[in-house]
């Protein structure tokens, strides 16, 4: 149900709350008459305001949100919450104004109060880490459904309320959207929710007002060095999730040094998980079978408990992701045997859009469309493909413009080391010169493997077709980056482009797909 109107993400029957009560609860200064005013929702963007909303005007990089109060009023806002700098602009819109020092920092608790999140009976799972968040959230969702639980999720790809799905923009919604979404989920009896929590969400208060039942950690590797000054700062942003104000208990993957450090620096009960038998942990996951279509694994835990199952996705890292989801469920109260029974002989039933998604048919090269856009994601996925492919690997990829530029050389190098043929193309150049982005990737690739066969083709459609022409039966093509996305962002414009649809078309043109 892509493109569902935003009302689907809001409670259909909100119970109004008094603005007076809100101002009193949070100690906000009041300007104007608030007697008898009731709010039914909150919005951080004037563009998403609905009738009865409190419009929250926050200062941003480009503008002060309070400057859009008139538009918010026209869309039905009944009051504005802003800071002192925004108060006059908000008052000019002829709405009552609540004033606080940091409205963004207040938003989570305010939205939780309006939507009564504390009374929501669902179990809340949070997943953080550089790679694997979306995957773990979908795996939680899939396993919960196999357990017969009505589940919901929010991820980079989609928000899901039971069977209803809506395409996402941000990985973690703004708090105003998140609490409304949880209220909507409550209306349709969702009993467990997986929430992907980015570092940016923690830094920007997007998950304030929720105490998660279980928080999971996948890994921490090079990314987002545009948003954070160092890996240390990036780590500290993630660490915030593992404190009592935010989560009751944690499951931490301790394969990395960052994970092991996090165990010591969390202030909540922690259960640990490792893929390496030599690493001390409460739970261990061992891969027992690797195939393009699925990965079999065994999970062993305290007291001799164990579970042998499979995940319908490529890669040992997907076994680690699935194991994390299972241990998080155990920590939330499910019995391992109950999970084993629900999974049955068929294993985990989950579909993750655009994560090592195999879009080829029975004939021709195996084609994976992946969302990997970090050095470690490239490394892990190439390794997994190498282990399940007898032929050559052709890798197609580009890099984000206006995002962490420091990872480009590594991305190029890892591709050149792990693939037999490299095709460098445009991803989302945004406002950068696409040729300069490609040049950085080419330089990284050739510095690592000077004689690697390399093609530079700007247009992604042409790049994929070139890769297809270079591959034969038994080979694999990894097209990393676009995943589930349906656009390419060039100079501020989102041009429709689905790598999955276009690659399927190209496979048909080549006669490999019916």
Q: Does 82 bind ligand UAG (CB under 6 A)?
A: no
Quick one: what does residue 62 bind among ligand ATP, ligand UAG, none, with the CB cut-off 5 to 8 Å set by partner type?
A: ligand UAG
The residue range among 166-174, 251-259, 267-275, 292-300 that interacts with ligand UAG, by the rule CB under 6 A, is 166-174
Q: Tell me which residue has tokens 């004033």.
A: 99
Q: Which region among 57-65, 136-144, 237-245, 444-452 touches ligand UAG (by CB under 6 A)? A: 57-65
CA distances from 190 to 120, 136, 144, 421 (A): 10, 18, 11, 46
Interface with ligand UAG (CB under 6 A), residue from 61, 163, 302, 450: 61
Q: Footprint of ligand ATP on residues 206-245 (CB under 6 A)?
A: 218-219
Burial 122-153 (b: 16+ CB within 10 A, else e): bbbbbbbbbbbbbbbbbbbbbbbbbbebbbbb
Given the complex with ligand UAG, which of 124 and 234 has the nearer CB atom? 234
Cross-strand pairs, 297 = 287, 309
Query: In this chain, which of 22, 23, 45, 75 binds ligand UAG, going by CB under 6 A?
Result: 45
Nearest alpha-carbon partner for 159 in 3, 377, 372, 369: 3
* Distance in Å, CB of 457 to ligand UAG, minimum: 26
Q: Does 357 help bind ligand ATP (rule: CB under 6 A)? A: no
Closest to ligand ATP by CB, 131 or 332: 131
Query: Does residue 133 touch ligand ATP according to CB under 6 A?
Result: yes
Long-range residue pairs from 445-453, CB within 8 A, at least 24 positions apart, any chain? 445/412, 445/413, 445/415, 445/416, 446/412, 446/416, 447/409, 447/412, 447/413, 448/412, 448/413, 448/414, 448/416, 448/417, 449/413, 449/416, 449/417, 452/416, 452/419, 452/421, 452/422, 453/420, 453/421, 453/422
Q: Which stretch binds ligand UAG (CB under 6 A): 11-19, 170-178, 239-247, 285-293?
A: 170-178
400-430 CB burial, b ≥16 within 10 A, e <16 = bbebbbebbbbbbbbbbebbbbbbbbbbbbb
Query: Any known ligand binding at 296?
Result: no
Nearer to ligand UAG, 152 or 292 (CB): 152
Residue nearest to ligand ATP (CB): 372
Of 96, 113, 122, give the one whose Cα is nearest residue 175: 113
Helix (H) / strand (E) containing 135: helix 133-146
34 sits near ligand ATP (criterion: CB under 6 A)? no
Q: Is 63 in the site for ligand UAG (CB under 6 A)?
A: yes
- Per CB under 6 A, 167 contacts ligand UAG: no
Minimum distance between the CB of residue 297 and ligand UAG, rounded to whole angstroms? 25
430-438 long-range contacts (CB < 8 A, ≥24 apart) are 430/400, 430/401, 430/402, 430/403, 430/489, 430/490, 430/491, 430/492, 431/401, 431/402, 431/491, 431/492, 432/401, 432/402, 434/401, 434/458, 434/490, 437/398, 437/399, 437/401, 437/408, 438/398
Task: Please check whether residue 213 is in contact with residue 248, taking contact to mean a CB–CB distance below 8 angstroms.
Answer: yes
Give which of 172, 197, 195 is closest to 185, Cα–Cα.
Answer: 195
Contact between 158 and ligand ATP by CB under 6 A: the answer reads: no
Q: Which does 370 bind (CB under 5 to 8 A by kind): ligand UAG, ligand ATP, none?
A: ligand ATP
Q: Which of 201, 311, 463, 503 touches ligand UAG (CB under 6 A)?
A: 201
Is 198 labelled a binding residue? yes
Pairwise CA distance, residues 93 & 325, whole Å: 47
- The interface region with ligand UAG, picked from 58-66, 157-165, 347-355, 474-482 by CB under 6 A, is 58-66
Alpha carbons 378 and 376: distance in angstroms, whole number: 5
Q: Which is nearer to ligand UAG, 87 or 394 (CB)?
A: 87
Q: Is 320 in the site for ligand ATP (CB under 6 A)?
A: yes
- Is 408 annotated as belonging to a binding site? no
Please check whether residue 321 is in contact with residue 297, taking contact to mean a CB–CB distance below 8 angstroms.
Answer: no
- Residue nearer to ligand ATP on the CB measure, 98 or 195: 195
Based on the shown chain and the rule CB under 6 A, indicate whether residue 233 belongs to the binding site for ligand UAG.
Answer: no
Which span sits near ligand UAG by CB under 6 A: 194-202, 302-310, 450-458, 483-491?
194-202
The binder of 120, among ligand ATP, ligand UAG, none, by C-beta within 5 to 8 A per type, is none
Q: CA–CA separation, 197 vs 203, rounded Å? A: 10
Least gap, CB of 263 to ligand ATP (angstroms): 17
Which segment (19-27, 181-189, 225-233, 371-379) binds ligand ATP by CB under 6 A? 371-379
Q: What whole-number distance in Å separates Cα of residue 26 and Cα of residue 33?
A: 17
| Binding range to ligand ATP, per CB under 6 A, among 18-26, 279-287, 329-337, 366-374 | 366-374
Using CB under 6 A, list all residues that contact ligand UAG.
44-47, 58, 60-63, 65, 68, 170-172, 174, 198, 200-201, 204, 227
Q: Binding site: which residues?
A: 46, 129-135, 171-172, 198, 206
Using CB under 6 A, list all residues that contact ligand ATP.
129, 131-135, 156, 171, 196, 198, 218-219, 317, 320-321, 355-356, 370-372, 376-377, 380-381
């Amino acid at each position: 149900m892509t493109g569902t109107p935003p009302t689907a993400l809001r409670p259909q029957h909100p119970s109004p709350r008094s603005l007076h009560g809100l101002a009193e609860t949070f100690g906000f200064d009041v300007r104007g008459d608030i007697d008898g005013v009731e709010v039914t929702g909150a919005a951080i963007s004037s563009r998403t305001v609905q009738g009865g909303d409190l419009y929250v005007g926050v200062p941003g990089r480009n503008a002060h949100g309070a400057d859009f109060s008139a538009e918010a009023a026209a869309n039905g806002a009944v009051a504005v919450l802003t800071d002192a700098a925004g108060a006059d602009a908000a008052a000019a819109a002829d709405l009552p104004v609540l004033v606080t020092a940091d409205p963004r920092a207040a938003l989570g608790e305010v939205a939780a109060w309006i939507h009564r999140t504390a009374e929501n009976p669902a179990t809340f799972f949070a997943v953080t880490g550089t790679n694997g968040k979306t995957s773990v959230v979908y795996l939680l969702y899939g396993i919960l459904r196999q357990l017969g639980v009505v589940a919901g999720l929010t991820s980079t790809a989609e928000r899901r309320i039971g069977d209803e799905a809506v395409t996402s923009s941000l990985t973690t919604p703004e708090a105003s959207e998140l609490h409304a979404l949880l209220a909507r989920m409550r209306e349709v009896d969702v009993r467990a929710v997986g929430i992907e929590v980015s570092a940016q969400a923690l830094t920007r208060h997007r998950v304030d007002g929720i105490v998660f039942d279980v928080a999971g950690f996948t890994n921490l590797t090079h990314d987002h060095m545009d948003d954070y000054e160092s890996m240390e700062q990036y780590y500290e942003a993630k660490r915030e999730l593992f404190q009592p104000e935010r989560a009751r208990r944690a499951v931490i993957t301790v394969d990395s040094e960052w994970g092991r450090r996090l165990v010591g620096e969390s202030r909540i009960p922690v259960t640990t998980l490792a893929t390496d038998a030599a690493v001390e942990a409460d739970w261990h996951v061992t891969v027992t079978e690797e195939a393009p279509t699925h990965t079999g694994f065994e999970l062993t835990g305290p007291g001799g408990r164990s579970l042998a199952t499979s995940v319908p996705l490529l890669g040992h890292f997907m076994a680690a992701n699935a194991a994390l989801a299972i241990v998080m469920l155990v920590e939330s109260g499910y019995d391992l045997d109950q999970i084993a029974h629900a999974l049955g002989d068929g294993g985990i039933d989950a579909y993750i859009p655009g994560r090592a998604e195999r879009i080829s048919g029975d004939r021709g090269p195996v084609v994976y469309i992946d969302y990997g856009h970090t050095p470690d994601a490239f490394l892990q996925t190439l390794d997994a493909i190498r282990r399940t492919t007898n032929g050559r690997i052709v890798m197609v990829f580009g890099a984000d413009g206006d995002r962490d530029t420091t990872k480009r050389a590594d991305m190029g190098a890892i591709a050149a080391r792990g693939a037999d043929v490299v095709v460098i193309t445009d991803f989302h150049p945004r406002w950068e010169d696409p040729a300069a982005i490609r040049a950085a990737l080419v330089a990284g690739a050739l510095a690592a493997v000077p004689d690697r066969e390399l093609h530079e083709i700007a247009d992604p459609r042409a790049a994929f077709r070139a890769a297809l022409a270079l591959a034969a039966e038994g080979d694999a093509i990894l097209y990393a980056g676009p995943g589930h996305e349906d656009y390419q962002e060039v100079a501020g414009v989102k041009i429709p482009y689905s790598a999955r649809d276009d690659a399927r078309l190209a496979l048909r043109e080549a006669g490999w797909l019916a």
